[in-house]
Amino acid sequence: MKARIIGIKSKDEFFRDTRGFLAELDRGGKAKKTPGVYFDSLETLRRVLTPKRLEIIRVIKKDNPISIYALAKRLGRNLKNVTQDLEYLENAGLVELKKSVSGRGLKPVADYDRIHFEIAV
């Protein structure tokens, strides 16, 4: 079962991790990619992961729609609004938009089964 990690990291933590990543590369080593999607605050995370956007992810996983249009129909929502939400989710790394089999349009994909929240205290 694949899981997507979503967490909150301060800017200081982000820059510290980035410096460590770059230092490892400078030493000729292979730096480990940090799995997950991180936000700088709980408020930012809440703006991205709204109930409607979580519903989009659930419907993508459950119904495997062949296009954004099919997803919007299944959700009973306006195509433009669903497209905007998908763009938001794609930019956050939570959804991929791949070329459909027919080559005409995009197919939304979420290649994970669970979301794990990681919050440093």
- Which range marks the domain in which residue 41 is found? 3-119
Q: Nearest-5° angle of CA 101, CA 84, CA 95?
A: 50
Structure tokens at 97: 């938009």
CATH number at residue 62: 1.10.10.10
Tens of pLDDT, residue by residue over 71-112, are: 999 999 999 999 999 999 999 889 999 997 777 789 999 999
The pLDDT value given to residue 1: 66
97 or 9, higher pLDDT: 97
User: What is the count of structural domains for the chain?
Assistant: 1
Mean pLDDT of the 20-26 span: 80
Q: Is the pLDDT of residue 49 over 80?
A: yes
Q: Is the pLDDT of residue 52 over 90?
A: yes
The pLDDT value given to residue 31: 66
* Cα–Cα distance for residue pair 111/102, rounded to 1 Å: 20
Task: Write down the pTM of the prediction.
Answer: 0.78
Contact 57, 28 (CB under 8 A): no
* Cα–Cα distance for residue pair 34/120, rounded to 1 Å: 15
